Amino acid sequence: MEVTHNVIGWVEVPVENMERAQKFYETVFGFELSRHQLGPLGMAWFPWVDNSIGSGASLVYHKDFYKPSADGVIIYFTAFSGDLSNELSRVEAAGGKVVVEKKQISPEHGYMGVFIDTEGNRIALHSRQ
């Protein structure tokens, strides 16, 4: 089968405290998330652009279904500043912890860094610079 688009369609980041998590991500990334309540599911959607590359994402809270974790799958967010050092520099002041400082993946693939958010999730950042 020929792959004609990116394979990730949506990402959900589990949270235990939506207000705390939303404030953390808005502080680190510098943009607002939009809150939505879908029955027992609380969500804060990251901004997205229709018909663009990449995937949409949301913080998500459900008392019985989602549990934050620093183990398992790791999500890489694009550093929209162009240099992930900018976003990474705001992590600790926002209540998170940087666990991998900015480092080069390769000249072709750019840079990465990793942090633990206020909910205990391990999250990565990526930039070309």
C-alpha 96/C-alpha 119 separation (Å) is: 8
- pLDDT at residue 53 greater than cutoff 90: no
Contact 84, 123 (CB under 8 A): no
Q: What is the distance, to the nearest Å, from the Cα of residue 6 to the centroid of all Cα atoms in its chain?
A: 17
C-alpha distances (whole Å) from 57 to each of 13, 70, 95, 107 are 8, 18, 21, 28
C-alpha 55/C-alpha 72 separation (Å) is: 19
Average predicted confidence (pLDDT) for the chain: 93
Single-letter amino acid, residue 113? G
Q: What is the pLDDT of residue 71?
A: 93
Tens digits of residue pLDDT in 74-94: 999 999 899 999 999 999 999
Q: What is the pLDDT of residue 15?
A: 97
Q: What is the mean pLDDT of the segment spanning 116-126?
A: 97
Tens digits of residue pLDDT in 101-112: 999 999 999 999
Q: What is the pLDDT of residue 48?
A: 87
